[in-house]
Structure 1
Amino acid sequence: MRVPQADPDERWFRTYAAARRPRRRLVVLPHAGGWATYFHAWGTAFDEGTEVLVARYPGRLDRLAEPCATSMDEFADQVSAALRPRLDIPVTLFGHSMGASLAYEVALRLRTRYGVNPAGLHVSSRRPPHLLRPRALHEEGDEALLAEVGRLGGTDPSVLADPYFREVALPAIRADFRIVGTYGPRAADPVPCPVYAYVGDRDPTAPVEDMEAWADVAPHGFRLDVLPGGHFYLRERHEALVGAVAGRLMATAGADG
Protein backbone atom coordinates (compact mmCIF):
# COMPACT_ATOMS: atom_id res chain seq x y z
CA MET A 1 0.00 0.00 0.00
CA ARG A 2 1.37 3.40 -0.98
CA VAL A 3 0.99 5.94 1.81
CA PRO A 4 -0.07 9.48 0.80
CA GLN A 5 2.89 11.72 1.39
CA ALA A 6 3.03 15.02 3.27
CA ASP A 7 5.87 17.40 4.03
CA PRO A 8 8.09 15.82 6.71
CA ASP A 9 8.13 17.44 10.13
CA GLU A 10 11.87 18.03 10.46
CA ARG A 11 11.65 18.70 14.20
CA TRP A 12 11.23 15.04 15.02
CA PHE A 13 14.33 13.39 13.57
CA ARG A 14 18.01 14.04 13.22
CA THR A 15 18.62 12.62 9.76
CA TYR A 16 21.85 10.96 8.70
CA ALA A 17 21.37 10.71 4.96
CA ALA A 18 22.48 7.69 2.97
CA ALA A 19 25.46 8.08 0.64
CA ARG A 20 23.12 7.45 -2.27
CA ARG A 21 19.40 7.20 -2.69
CA PRO A 22 18.24 5.33 0.43
CA ARG A 23 16.81 1.84 0.08
CA ARG A 24 15.83 1.52 3.74
CA ARG A 25 15.45 3.62 6.90
CA LEU A 26 16.48 2.84 10.46
CA VAL A 27 14.54 4.81 13.06
CA VAL A 28 16.26 5.01 16.46
CA LEU A 29 14.19 5.87 19.54
CA PRO A 30 16.27 6.86 22.63
CA HIS A 31 15.74 6.00 26.28
CA ALA A 32 14.00 8.03 29.00
CA GLY A 33 15.79 11.34 29.42
CA GLY A 34 17.82 10.53 26.31
CA TRP A 35 18.85 12.91 23.55
CA ALA A 36 19.42 12.23 19.87
CA THR A 37 23.11 13.04 20.31
CA TYR A 38 23.54 9.87 22.39
CA PHE A 39 23.18 7.89 19.15
CA HIS A 40 25.29 10.18 16.97
CA ALA A 41 27.76 7.39 16.17
CA TRP A 42 24.93 5.34 14.68
CA GLY A 43 24.48 7.90 11.91
CA THR A 44 27.50 6.67 9.96
CA ALA A 45 27.63 3.06 11.20
CA PHE A 46 25.54 1.46 8.46
CA ASP A 47 25.84 0.80 4.74
CA GLU A 48 25.50 3.50 2.11
CA GLY A 49 21.91 2.49 1.28
CA THR A 50 20.63 3.03 4.83
CA GLU A 51 19.28 6.35 6.04
CA VAL A 52 19.35 6.69 9.84
CA LEU A 53 16.77 8.78 11.68
CA VAL A 54 17.32 9.41 15.40
CA ALA A 55 14.28 10.77 17.22
CA ARG A 56 14.53 14.25 18.71
CA TYR A 57 12.07 14.25 21.56
CA PRO A 58 10.29 17.49 22.56
CA GLY A 59 11.32 19.20 25.77
CA ARG A 60 15.09 18.97 25.26
CA LEU A 61 17.95 20.55 23.27
CA ASP A 62 16.59 22.56 20.31
CA ARG A 63 13.01 21.50 21.21
CA LEU A 64 13.39 22.68 24.80
CA ALA A 65 10.44 25.07 24.63
CA GLU A 66 8.02 22.40 23.42
CA PRO A 67 5.93 20.39 25.89
CA CYS A 68 6.94 16.80 26.60
CA ALA A 69 4.54 13.98 25.87
CA THR A 70 2.50 12.91 28.89
CA SER A 71 1.68 9.28 28.00
CA MET A 72 3.04 6.46 25.87
CA ASP A 73 -0.03 6.59 23.62
CA GLU A 74 0.42 10.31 22.99
CA PHE A 75 4.12 9.79 22.32
CA ALA A 76 3.52 6.91 19.90
CA ASP A 77 0.83 8.90 18.09
CA GLN A 78 3.25 11.78 17.60
CA VAL A 79 6.15 9.63 16.36
CA SER A 80 3.93 7.60 14.04
CA ALA A 81 2.49 10.76 12.48
CA ALA A 82 6.00 12.18 12.02
CA LEU A 83 7.06 8.97 10.26
CA ARG A 84 4.15 8.95 7.84
CA PRO A 85 5.92 10.92 5.08
CA ARG A 86 8.90 8.57 5.39
CA LEU A 87 7.15 5.26 4.75
CA ASP A 88 7.95 5.14 1.02
CA ILE A 89 10.81 2.68 1.64
CA PRO A 90 11.18 -0.12 4.25
CA VAL A 91 11.39 1.21 7.82
CA THR A 92 13.02 -0.62 10.72
CA LEU A 93 12.53 0.51 14.32
CA PHE A 94 15.14 0.32 17.09
CA GLY A 95 14.34 1.45 20.62
CA HIS A 96 16.40 1.36 23.81
CA SER A 97 14.68 1.15 27.23
CA MET A 98 11.68 3.50 27.09
CA GLY A 99 12.37 3.72 23.38
CA ALA A 100 11.72 -0.02 23.04
CA SER A 101 8.16 0.37 24.33
CA LEU A 102 7.73 3.39 22.09
CA ALA A 103 9.04 1.46 19.07
CA TYR A 104 6.59 -1.37 19.80
CA GLU A 105 3.63 1.01 19.96
CA VAL A 106 4.77 2.76 16.77
CA ALA A 107 5.04 -0.60 14.98
CA LEU A 108 1.42 -1.36 15.87
CA ARG A 109 0.27 2.06 14.67
CA LEU A 110 2.12 1.90 11.36
CA ARG A 111 0.12 -1.22 10.53
CA THR A 112 -3.31 -0.25 11.85
CA ARG A 113 -3.29 3.41 10.76
CA TYR A 114 -1.18 3.49 7.62
CA GLY A 115 -1.28 -0.11 6.37
CA VAL A 116 2.51 -0.41 6.50
CA ASN A 117 4.38 -3.29 8.11
CA PRO A 118 7.77 -2.32 9.54
CA ALA A 119 10.63 -4.37 8.17
CA GLY A 120 11.72 -5.21 11.71
CA LEU A 121 11.35 -4.22 15.36
CA HIS A 122 14.52 -4.11 17.48
CA VAL A 123 13.99 -3.73 21.23
CA SER A 124 16.71 -3.18 23.81
CA SER A 125 16.74 -3.36 27.63
CA ARG A 126 12.99 -3.22 28.24
CA ARG A 127 10.43 -5.79 29.28
CA PRO A 128 7.65 -6.60 26.76
CA PRO A 129 4.32 -4.83 27.27
CA HIS A 130 2.60 -7.67 29.13
CA LEU A 131 5.39 -7.95 31.74
CA LEU A 132 5.83 -4.30 32.60
CA ARG A 133 5.52 -3.16 36.21
CA PRO A 134 4.10 0.33 36.88
CA ARG A 135 6.28 2.51 39.10
CA ALA A 136 5.53 6.00 40.39
CA LEU A 137 9.13 7.24 40.46
CA HIS A 138 8.03 10.39 38.61
CA GLU A 139 6.10 11.42 41.73
CA GLU A 140 9.24 11.46 43.88
CA GLY A 141 11.76 14.26 44.37
CA ASP A 142 14.56 15.33 42.08
CA GLU A 143 17.21 13.43 44.01
CA ALA A 144 15.31 10.16 43.63
CA LEU A 145 15.06 10.67 39.87
CA LEU A 146 18.73 11.51 39.54
CA ALA A 147 19.66 8.52 41.71
CA GLU A 148 17.78 6.21 39.36
CA VAL A 149 19.44 7.75 36.31
CA GLY A 150 22.79 7.24 38.01
CA ARG A 151 21.95 3.65 38.96
CA LEU A 152 21.17 2.75 35.38
CA GLY A 153 24.53 4.13 34.28
CA GLY A 154 23.56 6.12 31.19
CA THR A 155 24.95 9.47 32.36
CA ASP A 156 28.31 10.50 33.78
CA PRO A 157 27.97 11.21 37.54
CA SER A 158 29.70 14.58 37.13
CA VAL A 159 27.01 15.60 34.64
CA LEU A 160 24.26 14.63 37.07
CA ALA A 161 25.82 16.91 39.68
CA ASP A 162 25.92 19.92 37.34
CA PRO A 163 23.29 22.55 38.29
CA TYR A 164 22.72 23.59 34.68
CA PHE A 165 22.10 19.98 33.64
CA ARG A 166 19.59 19.59 36.43
CA GLU A 167 17.72 22.71 35.46
CA VAL A 168 17.57 21.88 31.76
CA ALA A 169 17.21 18.10 31.80
CA LEU A 170 15.12 17.28 34.87
CA PRO A 171 11.74 18.29 33.41
CA ALA A 172 12.24 15.93 30.45
CA ILE A 173 13.55 13.16 32.69
CA ARG A 174 10.52 13.47 34.96
CA ALA A 175 8.14 13.51 31.98
CA ASP A 176 9.75 10.40 30.51
CA PHE A 177 9.64 8.54 33.82
CA ARG A 178 5.95 9.42 34.04
CA ILE A 179 5.46 7.82 30.61
CA VAL A 180 7.44 4.76 31.67
CA GLY A 181 5.78 4.45 35.05
CA THR A 182 2.22 4.68 33.76
CA TYR A 183 2.55 2.40 30.72
CA GLY A 184 1.55 -1.24 31.05
CA PRO A 185 1.09 -3.98 31.63
CA ARG A 186 -0.80 -4.37 28.36
CA ALA A 187 -1.99 -7.23 26.19
CA ALA A 188 0.69 -8.92 24.12
CA ASP A 189 -0.61 -7.63 20.78
CA PRO A 190 1.48 -9.14 17.96
CA VAL A 191 3.51 -6.96 15.61
CA PRO A 192 3.54 -7.63 11.85
CA CYS A 193 7.32 -8.09 11.54
CA PRO A 194 10.27 -9.98 13.02
CA VAL A 195 11.33 -8.90 16.51
CA TYR A 196 14.97 -8.76 17.65
CA ALA A 197 15.74 -8.19 21.32
CA TYR A 198 19.01 -7.16 23.00
CA VAL A 199 19.96 -6.95 26.66
CA GLY A 200 22.97 -6.79 28.93
CA ASP A 201 23.53 -9.86 31.08
CA ARG A 202 23.63 -7.69 34.23
CA ASP A 203 20.71 -5.36 33.46
CA PRO A 204 18.89 -4.62 36.74
CA THR A 205 15.64 -3.64 34.99
CA ALA A 206 15.21 -6.21 32.20
CA PRO A 207 16.10 -9.79 33.20
CA VAL A 208 17.03 -12.12 30.36
CA GLU A 209 14.03 -14.36 31.04
CA ASP A 210 11.70 -11.37 30.70
CA MET A 211 13.34 -10.25 27.46
CA GLU A 212 12.69 -13.75 26.10
CA ALA A 213 8.96 -13.03 26.45
CA TRP A 214 9.13 -10.57 23.53
CA ALA A 215 8.61 -13.78 21.56
CA ASP A 216 4.97 -13.58 22.65
CA VAL A 217 4.40 -10.61 20.33
CA ALA A 218 6.53 -11.93 17.47
CA PRO A 219 4.64 -14.42 15.26
CA HIS A 220 6.91 -13.50 12.35
CA GLY A 221 10.11 -14.51 14.12
CA PHE A 222 12.13 -13.67 17.22
CA ARG A 223 15.76 -13.60 18.27
CA LEU A 224 17.38 -12.51 21.55
CA ASP A 225 21.00 -11.45 21.89
CA VAL A 226 22.49 -11.27 25.40
CA LEU A 227 25.60 -9.10 25.59
CA PRO A 228 27.97 -8.42 28.49
CA GLY A 229 27.00 -5.36 30.49
CA GLY A 230 24.27 -3.57 32.35
CA HIS A 231 21.35 -1.41 31.27
CA PHE A 232 23.57 0.67 29.01
CA TYR A 233 25.59 -2.24 27.63
CA LEU A 234 25.27 -0.57 24.21
CA ARG A 235 28.07 1.89 25.04
CA GLU A 236 30.73 -0.77 25.62
CA ARG A 237 29.27 -3.18 23.05
CA HIS A 238 28.64 -0.61 20.34
CA GLU A 239 30.33 -2.52 17.52
CA ALA A 240 28.70 -5.84 18.39
CA LEU A 241 25.24 -4.30 18.68
CA VAL A 242 25.48 -2.19 15.54
CA GLY A 243 26.86 -5.18 13.64
CA ALA A 244 23.92 -7.34 14.70
CA VAL A 245 21.39 -4.64 13.82
CA ALA A 246 23.07 -4.00 10.46
CA GLY A 247 23.01 -7.66 9.46
CA ARG A 248 19.33 -8.01 10.31
CA LEU A 249 18.52 -4.69 8.68
CA MET A 250 19.95 -5.90 5.40
CA ALA A 251 18.17 -9.25 5.68
CA THR A 252 14.72 -7.91 6.55
CA ALA A 253 14.64 -4.63 4.60
CA GLY A 254 16.42 -5.86 1.51
CA ALA A 255 20.06 -5.67 0.53
CA ASP A 256 21.34 -3.50 -2.32
CA GLY A 257 21.33 -5.23 -5.61
Structure 2
Amino acid sequence: MGEKRENSAWIRRFHPAPESGVRLLCLPHAGGSAPFYFPMSKALSPAVDVLCLQYPGRQDRRLDPAIDNIPDYADAVVAELKPWLDVPTAFFGHSMGAVLAYEVALRLERDGLPAPIALFASGRRAPSRYREENVHRRDDDGIVKEMQLLSGTDSRILGDEEILRMVLPAIRSDYTAIETYRSEAGAAVSAPITVFTGDSDPRTSLEEAEAWRVHTTAEFDIRVFSGGHFFLANHAAEIIDIISKKISGAGRQQS
Protein backbone atom coordinates (compact mmCIF):
# COMPACT_ATOMS: atom_id res chain seq x y z
CA MET A 1 0.00 0.00 0.00
CA GLY A 2 3.00 2.25 -0.28
CA GLU A 3 6.36 2.85 1.39
CA LYS A 4 6.25 3.24 5.14
CA ARG A 5 8.52 6.00 6.42
CA GLU A 6 9.43 6.24 10.08
CA ASN A 7 8.83 9.99 10.16
CA SER A 8 7.28 11.54 7.08
CA ALA A 9 6.31 15.18 6.77
CA TRP A 10 2.82 14.22 7.94
CA ILE A 11 3.37 11.39 10.40
CA ARG A 12 5.41 11.48 13.61
CA ARG A 13 6.14 8.35 15.62
CA PHE A 14 7.52 9.52 18.95
CA HIS A 15 7.56 6.12 20.68
CA PRO A 16 7.75 3.34 18.07
CA ALA A 17 6.10 0.11 19.23
CA PRO A 18 6.11 -2.13 16.15
CA GLU A 19 5.45 -5.28 18.18
CA SER A 20 2.27 -3.96 19.78
CA GLY A 21 -0.01 -5.23 17.03
CA VAL A 22 -2.34 -2.21 17.20
CA ARG A 23 -1.97 1.47 16.24
CA LEU A 24 -3.56 4.76 17.20
CA LEU A 25 -3.57 7.71 14.80
CA CYS A 26 -3.87 11.04 16.65
CA LEU A 27 -5.24 14.06 14.77
CA PRO A 28 -4.72 17.52 16.33
CA HIS A 29 -7.16 20.40 16.76
CA ALA A 30 -7.22 23.54 14.60
CA GLY A 31 -3.87 25.24 15.08
CA GLY A 32 -2.49 22.16 16.80
CA SER A 33 0.57 20.07 16.02
CA ALA A 34 1.88 16.55 16.51
CA PRO A 35 3.74 17.19 19.82
CA PHE A 36 0.39 17.92 21.48
CA TYR A 37 -0.01 14.14 21.60
CA PHE A 38 3.50 13.34 22.85
CA PRO A 39 2.25 12.61 26.41
CA MET A 40 -0.46 10.30 25.10
CA SER A 41 2.05 8.50 22.89
CA LYS A 42 4.40 8.02 25.83
CA ALA A 43 1.61 6.76 28.10
CA LEU A 44 0.34 4.21 25.59
CA SER A 45 3.76 2.87 24.57
CA PRO A 46 4.69 0.04 24.18
CA ALA A 47 1.16 -1.41 24.24
CA VAL A 48 0.04 0.80 21.35
CA ASP A 49 2.02 2.10 18.38
CA VAL A 50 1.01 5.77 18.24
CA LEU A 51 1.19 7.91 15.09
CA CYS A 52 0.69 11.67 15.40
CA LEU A 53 -0.24 13.88 12.46
CA GLN A 54 1.75 17.00 11.74
CA TYR A 55 -0.33 19.39 9.66
CA PRO A 56 1.36 21.69 7.12
CA GLY A 57 2.03 25.33 7.94
CA ARG A 58 3.39 24.95 11.49
CA GLN A 59 6.63 24.16 13.33
CA ASP A 60 9.03 22.31 11.02
CA ARG A 61 6.35 22.42 8.28
CA ARG A 62 5.86 26.17 8.57
CA LEU A 63 6.87 26.73 4.94
CA ASP A 64 4.54 24.04 3.58
CA PRO A 65 1.30 25.42 2.12
CA ALA A 66 -1.55 25.21 4.62
CA ILE A 67 -4.81 23.48 3.72
CA ASP A 68 -8.10 25.37 4.07
CA ASN A 69 -10.74 22.66 3.54
CA ILE A 70 -11.54 19.32 5.16
CA PRO A 71 -11.87 17.26 1.93
CA ASP A 72 -8.31 18.11 0.83
CA TYR A 73 -7.07 17.50 4.38
CA ALA A 74 -8.72 14.06 4.45
CA ASP A 75 -7.43 13.09 1.01
CA ALA A 76 -3.88 14.00 2.03
CA VAL A 77 -4.11 12.02 5.27
CA VAL A 78 -5.44 8.93 3.48
CA ALA A 79 -2.50 9.04 1.06
CA GLU A 80 0.00 9.27 3.92
CA LEU A 81 -1.73 6.66 6.06
CA LYS A 82 -1.97 3.82 3.54
CA PRO A 83 1.43 2.26 4.36
CA TRP A 84 0.52 2.14 8.06
CA LEU A 85 -2.68 0.14 7.70
CA ASP A 86 -0.92 -3.23 7.98
CA VAL A 87 -2.14 -3.63 11.58
CA PRO A 88 -5.50 -2.73 13.21
CA THR A 89 -5.60 1.05 13.66
CA ALA A 90 -7.85 3.31 15.72
CA PHE A 91 -8.30 7.09 15.33
CA PHE A 92 -8.32 9.77 18.02
CA GLY A 93 -9.14 13.33 16.99
CA HIS A 94 -9.73 16.44 19.07
CA SER A 95 -11.90 19.30 17.80
CA MET A 96 -11.13 19.71 14.08
CA GLY A 97 -9.17 16.47 14.37
CA ALA A 98 -12.36 14.59 15.27
CA VAL A 99 -14.09 15.67 12.05
CA LEU A 100 -10.96 14.94 10.04
CA ALA A 101 -10.72 11.46 11.59
CA TYR A 102 -14.32 10.80 10.60
CA GLU A 103 -13.77 11.92 7.00
CA VAL A 104 -10.60 9.83 6.71
CA ALA A 105 -12.51 6.80 7.99
CA LEU A 106 -15.25 7.34 5.39
CA ARG A 107 -12.70 7.49 2.59
CA LEU A 108 -10.90 4.35 3.71
CA GLU A 109 -14.16 2.42 3.68
CA ARG A 110 -15.18 3.76 0.28
CA ASP A 111 -11.77 2.86 -1.18
CA GLY A 112 -11.90 -0.68 0.20
CA LEU A 113 -8.94 -0.04 2.51
CA PRO A 114 -8.66 -1.22 6.14
CA ALA A 115 -11.02 0.97 8.16
CA PRO A 116 -10.31 2.06 11.74
CA ILE A 117 -11.25 -0.41 14.46
CA ALA A 118 -12.45 2.48 16.64
CA LEU A 119 -12.97 6.22 16.34
CA PHE A 120 -12.54 8.52 19.35
CA ALA A 121 -14.11 11.94 18.75
CA SER A 122 -13.10 14.51 21.35
CA GLY A 123 -14.22 18.09 21.89
CA ARG A 124 -16.33 18.44 18.75
CA ARG A 125 -20.01 18.39 17.88
CA ALA A 126 -21.23 15.76 15.44
CA PRO A 127 -20.48 16.30 11.73
CA SER A 128 -24.20 16.84 11.10
CA ARG A 129 -24.48 19.65 13.69
CA TYR A 130 -23.65 23.10 12.33
CA ARG A 131 -23.17 26.53 13.83
CA GLU A 132 -22.61 29.76 11.97
CA GLU A 133 -19.02 30.64 12.88
CA ASN A 134 -16.66 33.18 11.35
CA VAL A 135 -13.43 33.04 13.34
CA HIS A 136 -11.50 32.56 10.10
CA ARG A 137 -12.73 35.97 8.92
CA ARG A 138 -11.52 37.85 12.00
CA ASP A 139 -8.30 39.84 12.18
CA ASP A 140 -5.26 38.34 13.89
CA ASP A 141 -6.25 39.67 17.32
CA GLY A 142 -9.69 38.13 16.91
CA ILE A 143 -8.25 34.69 16.20
CA VAL A 144 -5.87 34.91 19.17
CA LYS A 145 -8.82 35.92 21.36
CA GLU A 146 -10.77 32.84 20.24
CA MET A 147 -7.89 30.54 21.06
CA GLN A 148 -7.51 32.16 24.46
CA LEU A 149 -11.23 31.64 25.08
CA LEU A 150 -11.01 27.96 24.26
CA SER A 151 -7.79 27.27 26.15
CA GLY A 152 -8.69 29.29 29.25
CA THR A 153 -5.69 29.79 31.49
CA ASP A 154 -3.85 26.65 30.41
CA SER A 155 -0.60 27.96 28.93
CA ARG A 156 0.29 24.45 27.76
CA ILE A 157 -2.51 24.74 25.20
CA LEU A 158 -2.04 28.33 24.08
CA GLY A 159 1.75 28.39 24.16
CA ASP A 160 3.82 31.50 23.57
CA GLU A 161 1.71 34.23 21.95
CA GLU A 162 4.62 35.47 19.85
CA ILE A 163 5.09 31.98 18.39
CA LEU A 164 1.34 31.67 18.04
CA ARG A 165 1.22 34.76 15.86
CA MET A 166 3.92 33.31 13.61
CA VAL A 167 1.64 30.43 12.69
CA LEU A 168 -1.56 32.47 12.42
CA PRO A 169 -1.84 31.85 8.66
CA ALA A 170 -2.00 28.10 9.31
CA ILE A 171 -4.43 28.60 12.17
CA ARG A 172 -6.66 30.73 9.96
CA SER A 173 -6.59 28.02 7.29
CA ASP A 174 -7.59 25.41 9.88
CA TYR A 175 -10.49 27.54 11.08
CA THR A 176 -11.54 28.09 7.47
CA ALA A 177 -11.51 24.35 6.92
CA ILE A 178 -13.60 23.43 9.94
CA GLU A 179 -16.00 26.38 9.82
CA THR A 180 -16.87 25.81 6.14
CA TYR A 181 -17.12 22.03 6.50
CA ARG A 182 -20.40 20.33 5.68
CA SER A 183 -20.83 16.58 6.07
CA GLU A 184 -22.48 14.28 3.59
CA ALA A 185 -26.09 13.66 4.61
CA GLY A 186 -26.70 10.19 5.99
CA ALA A 187 -23.04 9.18 6.00
CA ALA A 188 -21.82 6.85 8.74
CA VAL A 189 -18.73 4.80 9.50
CA SER A 190 -18.66 1.14 10.48
CA ALA A 191 -16.24 1.74 13.36
CA PRO A 192 -17.63 2.13 16.88
CA ILE A 193 -17.50 5.76 18.00
CA THR A 194 -16.59 6.96 21.48
CA VAL A 195 -17.19 10.63 22.15
CA PHE A 196 -15.36 12.63 24.83
CA THR A 197 -16.85 16.02 25.69
CA GLY A 198 -16.48 18.74 28.31
CA ASP A 199 -19.54 19.77 30.29
CA SER A 200 -18.75 23.47 29.82
CA ASP A 201 -17.32 23.48 26.30
CA PRO A 202 -18.51 26.73 24.67
CA ARG A 203 -18.33 25.13 21.21
CA THR A 204 -20.08 21.79 21.84
CA SER A 205 -23.27 21.12 23.79
CA LEU A 206 -24.15 17.70 25.18
CA GLU A 207 -26.89 17.33 22.55
CA GLU A 208 -24.43 18.16 19.77
CA ALA A 209 -21.96 15.62 21.14
CA GLU A 210 -24.67 12.96 21.46
CA ALA A 211 -25.51 13.48 17.79
CA TRP A 212 -22.36 11.56 16.82
CA ARG A 213 -24.53 8.48 17.45
CA VAL A 214 -26.06 8.67 13.96
CA HIS A 215 -22.63 8.66 12.32
CA THR A 216 -21.80 5.03 13.13
CA THR A 217 -23.49 1.75 12.30
CA ALA A 218 -21.68 0.14 15.24
CA GLU A 219 -21.61 0.79 18.99
CA PHE A 220 -21.71 4.31 20.39
CA ASP A 221 -20.41 5.56 23.72
CA ILE A 222 -20.17 9.06 25.20
CA ARG A 223 -18.12 10.17 28.18
CA VAL A 224 -18.68 13.59 29.74
CA PHE A 225 -15.89 15.29 31.70
CA SER A 226 -15.70 18.47 33.73
CA GLY A 227 -14.12 21.34 31.85
CA GLY A 228 -14.23 23.38 28.67
CA HIS A 229 -12.93 22.80 25.18
CA PHE A 230 -9.59 21.39 26.34
CA PHE A 231 -11.04 19.29 29.17
CA LEU A 232 -8.70 16.46 28.20
CA ALA A 233 -5.72 18.33 29.73
CA ASN A 234 -7.14 17.64 33.20
CA HIS A 235 -8.48 14.15 32.49
CA ALA A 236 -5.64 12.68 30.45
CA ALA A 237 -5.07 9.57 32.58
CA GLU A 238 -8.74 8.57 32.54
CA ILE A 239 -9.12 9.20 28.81
CA ILE A 240 -5.96 7.26 27.99
CA ASP A 241 -7.20 4.36 30.10
CA ILE A 242 -10.52 4.29 28.21
CA ILE A 243 -8.72 4.40 24.86
CA SER A 244 -6.33 1.64 25.88
CA LYS A 245 -9.10 -0.71 26.98
CA LYS A 246 -11.27 -0.12 23.94
CA ILE A 247 -8.38 -0.47 21.49
CA SER A 248 -7.09 -3.69 23.06
CA GLY A 249 -10.58 -5.19 22.93
CA ALA A 250 -11.14 -4.17 19.32
CA GLY A 251 -7.67 -5.35 18.35
CA ARG A 252 -8.29 -8.83 19.75
CA GLN A 253 -11.52 -9.05 17.76
CA GLN A 254 -9.63 -8.19 14.57
CA SER A 255 -6.85 -10.73 15.10
What is the aligned counterpart of 1:51 among 26, 49, 52? 49
Equivalent residues, number: 253
* Other-structure match for 2:161: 162
Specify whether residues 18 and 69 from structure 1 end up closer, same or farther in structure 2 by C-alpha distance, changes over 3 A only.
Answer: same
Specify whether residues 114 and 140 from structure 1 end up closer, same or farther in structure 2 by C-alpha distance, changes over 3 A only.
Answer: same
What is the aligned counterpart of 1:6 among 3, 6, 20? 3
Structure 1, residues 124-144: CA drift from partner, whole Å, max 9, x if none?
Answer: 111111112242221111111
Specify whether residues 76 and 16 from structure 1 end up closer, same or farther in structure 2 by C-alpha distance, changes over 3 A only.
Answer: same
Cα RMSD, aligned residues only: 2.2
What is the aligned counterpart of 2:64 among 63, 66, 81? 66
Match of 1:131, SS? coil
Alignment map for 1:165-184 (pairs within 5 Å)? 165-166=164-165, 168-184=166-182
Specify whether residues 98 and 215 from structure 1 end up closer, same or farther in structure 2 by C-alpha distance, changes over 3 A only.
Answer: same
What's the % identity of the aligned pairs? 34
* Other-structure match for 1:243: 241
* Other-structure match for 1:41: 39
- Cα distance, 1:254 vs structure 2: 2.2
Alignment map for 1:1-257 (pairs within 5 Å)? 4-8=1-5, 10-19=8-17, 21-153=19-151, 156=155, 162-166=161-165, 168-184=166-182, 186-254=184-252
Specify whether residues 196 and 143 from structure 1 end up closer, same or farther in structure 2 by C-alpha distance, changes over 3 A only.
Answer: same
CA distance in 2, matches of 1:188, 1:136: 26
Aligned letter for 1:79? V
CA distance in 1, matches of 2:182, 2:157: 33
Q: In the alignment, is the contact (CA less than 8 A) between 1:195 and 1:223 conserved in 2?
A: yes
User: 5+ unaligned residues in a row in structure 2: which ranges?
Assistant: none
Q: Which deviates more, 86-95 or 48-57? A: 48-57
TM-score scaled to structure 1, two decimals? 0.91
- Cα distance, 1:184 vs structure 2: 1.8
CA distance in 2, matches of 1:52, 1:237: 19
Structure 1, residues 70-101: CA drift from partner, whole Å, max 9, x if none?
Answer: 21000000011100001110010000000000
- Cα distance, 1:110 vs structure 2: 1.1
- Cα distance, 1:18 vs structure 2: 4.2
Aligned letter for 2:111? R
